[in-house]
């Protein structure tokens, strides 16, 4: 049987089907199959490469040399800087600031005397220049091109001697031989493959910008995530100024690091002390607010959590969480009612993490409970107290990791008390708590609720 001239490729997972289907059989997504010509991509070319030589596992090789970009927060997430011949994918929602971040990094590196090429497939040269002017980077010797034809770009990169090449974005790249539109799985995969091959052979660090879809996947090609050495996602709420850069994959470093930035009218500013900024707008003595001593990556971060109770219109009460998991909020409210005797009286509950940040640590259970109890009783939490601890289904407060780092950060920012799991406060191993920080060890949620029942301020 002759090979079919066309095939259908799922734009979500990359699965290939021989005929069109309304629903992808591999990933179950609807309406994602697109007709594409069976690719004669770069893979299909005849190999001109020399035969592969094998070496022993034990032989010496120098540690990965790294180039710091000069942007501390970016370097931290990369694991110390860019590794030559590595490929980094920077993903994020459109408009979140990916181009701004990379132009700033490119300019910093170029000013330090490295050769940096920036290829924009989305914006014209004039638009990029305009941004550079706005950022005060117009004098940086970054070499710019506005292009989408990958073969032409590849030819220019071949012997460029570049240190860093930025492709903004991979979804705009186009290879003529691949008969589908830019942004489709075939095009993105083939373009990334060709660029990666070049980065490995020419030794430049390659940064690919990729837009993400609503559900968090980088549009179309999941395949890209496997091909690259590191995946960084740039997150934040467009209505807020804070941006978090997170490594979700890193062959050359840890994946739990974050970089914190603030979007200003002159570009992204690095935030060296996130806690101070996140707490800057906090008003003391307001019921329903509590401060979380959290850990993001290896960094302690203090965040304000706010809860609001409102009498609903009857029926099922609403539970809305912004910056935290909604299911976990429902669970915690159920535990508060069933195990700690807190009555919410069918009120709607709204939870918000101030600053547009997202908490994913279970250690935030206790601070959420504190904010809710405070809102329910109308009694503010002590303004100088931080909270952390995980809550179990029977209402017990469970241990969490890195208590000392959390306490140290709290003390550094002038907090004088911490509510934490009793087993951490009075564990077998003495806790190295900072001087002047009072520890309130809680064993059960009812210990927390009891603090808000005392006459006067809770202590
Ligand atoms: P951009 O880097 O173009 O986003 P992406 O490449 O991820 O699509 O950032 C666009 C947003 O950032 C835009 O809404 C305007 C804002 N911005 C600032 O607030 N200050 C600045 O200095 C710049 C350059 C952009
Ligand atoms: Mg952009």
Tell how far the Cα of 91 is from the centroid of ligand 1, in angstroms: 14
Given this model, what pLDDT does residue 459 score?
45
Tell how far the Cα of 103 is from the centroid of ligand 2, in angstroms: 10
Evaluate whether residue 260 is within a structural domain: yes
Tell how far the Cα of 40 is from the centroid of ligand 2, in angstroms: 30
Of all protein residues, the one whose alpha carbon is nearest to atom 1 of ligand 1 is 97
Which residue is listed with tokens 């990334």? 192
Same domain, 196 and 341: no
Residue 250 has pLDDT above 70, yes or no: yes
Given this model, what pLDDT does residue 221 score?
53
Of all protein residues, the one whose alpha carbon is nearest to atom 18 of ligand 1 is 265
Span 125-161, pLDDT tens digits = 999 999 999 999 999 999 999 999 999 999 999 888 8
Evaluate whether residue 42 is within a structural domain: no
Same domain, 82 and 217: yes
Which ligand minimizes its atom distance to the CA of 92? 1
Tell how far the Cα of 298 is from the centroid of ligand 2, in angstroms: 29
Tell how far the Cα of 144 is from the centroid of ligand 1, in angstroms: 18
Assess contact for 23 and 174: CB atoms under 8 A.
no
Q: Which residues of 117-129 are buried (b: 16+ CB within 10 A; e: fewer)?
A: bbbbbbbeeeebe
Evaluate whether residue 49 is within a structural domain: no
Same domain, 76 and 32: no
Span 202-239, pLDDT tens digits = 999 999 999 886 665 665 556 788 899 999 989 887 77
Of all protein residues, the one whose alpha carbon is nearest to atom 10 of ligand 1 is 95
Given this model, what pLDDT does residue 458 score?
46
Same domain, 117 and 187: yes
Tell how far the Cα of 119 is from the centroid of ligand 2, in angstroms: 11
- Residue where one domain finishes, among candidates 215, 245, 272: 272
- Residue where one domain finishes, among candidates 239, 272, 305: 272
Evaluate whether residue 66 is within a structural domain: no
Provide the domain limits for residue 349. Answer: 276-451
What does the block give as tokens for 440?
Answer: 């309130």
Which residue is listed with tokens 């952390």? 388
Given this model, what pLDDT does residue 428 score?
78
Of all protein residues, the one whose alpha carbon is nearest to atom 2 of ligand 1 is 97
Given this model, what pLDDT does residue 47 score?
59
Assess contact for 91 and 224: CB atoms under 8 A.
no
Question: Domain count of the chain?
Answer: 3
Same domain, 306 and 406: yes
Same domain, 330 and 407: yes
Same domain, 293 and 234: no
Residue 378 has pLDDT above 90, yes or no: yes
Of all protein residues, the one whose alpha carbon is nearest to atom 19 of ligand 1 is 265
Evaluate whether residue 95 is within a structural domain: yes
Tell how far the Cα of 197 is from the centroid of ligand 2, in angstroms: 24
> Residue 111: which CATH number?
3.40.50.300
Which ligand minimizes its atom distance to the CA of 121? 2
Of all protein residues, the one whose alpha carbon is nearest to atom 22 of ligand 1 is 267
Of all protein residues, the one whose alpha carbon is nearest to atom 13 of ligand 1 is 95
Span 253-280, pLDDT tens digits = 887 778 889 999 999 999 888 888 778 8
Given this model, what pLDDT does residue 28 score?
84
Mutate to test the pocket of ligand 1, among 100, 121, 168 (most ligand atoms within 8 A of CB): 100
Atom of ligand 1 nearest to the CA of 93: 7
Evaluate whether residue 62 is within a structural domain: no
Same domain, 21 and 110: no
Span 306-358, pLDDT tens digits = 999 998 777 889 999 999 999 999 999 999 999 999 999 889 999 999 877 88
pTM of the model: 0.76
Mutate to test the pocket of ligand 1, among 133, 263, 268 (most ligand atoms within 8 A of CB): 263
Of the two residues 60 and 152, the one the predictor is more confident about is 152
Same domain, 261 and 294: no
Angle formed by the axes of helices 326-340 and 365-377, to 10°?
Answer: 60
Q: Which residues are CB-neighbours of 355 under 8 A, at least 6 positions away?
A: 240, 242, 277, 278, 281, 303, 304
Which ligand minimizes its atom distance to the CA of 262? 1
Tell how far the Cα of 97 is from the centroid of ligand 1, in angstroms: 5
- Residue where one domain finishes, among candidates 251, 272, 293: 272
Cα-based angle 286, 291, 294 (whole degrees, multiple of 5): 165
Same domain, 257 and 284: no
What does the block give as tokens for 175?
Answer: 């290879």
Q: Which segments within 297-416 are labelled E, that is strand? A: 299-310, 319-322, 348-353, 385-387, 390-391, 397-398
Query: Which residues lie with the beta carbon below 6 Å from any ligand 1 atom?
Result: 92, 94-100, 131, 134-135, 263, 265-267
In the structure, what pLDDT confidence band is assigned to residue 44 with cuts at 50, 70 and 90?
very low
Residue 43 has pLDDT above 70, yes or no: no
Q: Which residues of 316-351 are buried (b: 16+ CB within 10 A; e: fewer)?
A: ebebebebbbeebbeebbebbeebbebebeebbbbb
Which ligand minimizes its atom distance to the CA of 96? 1
Same domain, 175 and 256: yes
Same domain, 27 and 154: no
């Amino acid at each position: 049987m002759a090979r079919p001239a066309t095939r259908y490729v799922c734009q979500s997972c990359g699965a290939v089907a021989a005929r069109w289907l309304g629903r992808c059989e591999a990933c179950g997504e609807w309406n994602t199959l697109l007709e594409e010509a069976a690719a004669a991509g770069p893979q299909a070319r005849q190999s001109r490469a020399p035969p592969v030589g094998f070496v022993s596992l034990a032989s010496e090789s120098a540690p990965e040399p790294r180039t710091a970009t000069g942007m501390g927060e970016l370097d931290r997430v990369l694991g110390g800087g860019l590794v030559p011949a590595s490929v980094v994918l920077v993903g994020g929602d459109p408009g979140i600031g990916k181009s701004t971040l990379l132009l700033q990094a490119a300019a910093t590196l170029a000013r330090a005397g490295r050769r940096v090429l920036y290829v924009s497939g989305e914006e014209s040269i004039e638009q990029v220049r305009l941004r550079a002017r706005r950022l005060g980077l117009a004098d940086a010797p970054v070499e710019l091109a506005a292009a989408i034809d990958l073969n032409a770009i590849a030819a220019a990169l071949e012997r460029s001697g570049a240190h860093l090449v930025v492709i903004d974005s991979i979804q705009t790249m186009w290879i003529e031989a691949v008969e589908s539109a830019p942004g489709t799985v075939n095009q993105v995969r083939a373009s990334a493959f060709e660029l990666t091959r070049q980065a490995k052979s020419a030794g430049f660090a390659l940064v690919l910008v990729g837009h993400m879809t609503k559900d968090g996947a980088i549009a179309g090609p999941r395949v890209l995530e496997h091909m690259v050495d590191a995946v960084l996602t740039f997150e934040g709420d467009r209505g807020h100024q804070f941006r978090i850069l997170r490594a979700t994959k890193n062959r050359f470093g840890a994946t739990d690091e974050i970089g914190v930035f603030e979007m200003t009218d002159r570009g992204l500013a690095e935030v060296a002390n996130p806690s101070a900024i996140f707490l800057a707008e906090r008003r003391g003595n307001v019921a329903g607010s509590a401060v979380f001593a959290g850990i993001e990556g290896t960094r302690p971060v203090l965040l304000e959590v706010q809860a609001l109770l409102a009498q609903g219109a009857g029926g099922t009460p609403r539970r809305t969480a912004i910056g935290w998991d909604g299911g976990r909020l429902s669970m915690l409210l159920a535990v508060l009612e069933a195990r700690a005797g807190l009555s919410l009286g069918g009120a709607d509950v709204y939870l918000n993490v101030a600053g547009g940040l997202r908490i994913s640590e279970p250690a935030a259970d206790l601070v959420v409970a504190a904010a809710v109890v405070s809102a329910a009783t109308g009694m503010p939490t002590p303004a100088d107290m931080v909270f952390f601890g995980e809550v179990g289904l029977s209402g017990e407060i469970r241990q969490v990791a890195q208590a000392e780092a959390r306490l140290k950060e709290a003390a550094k920012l002038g907090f004088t008390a911490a509510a934490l799991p009793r087993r951490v406060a009075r564990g077998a191993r003495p806790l190295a708590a900072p001087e002047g920080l009072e520890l309130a060890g809680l064993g059960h949620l009812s210990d927390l609720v009891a603090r808000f029942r005392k006459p006067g301020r809770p202590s």
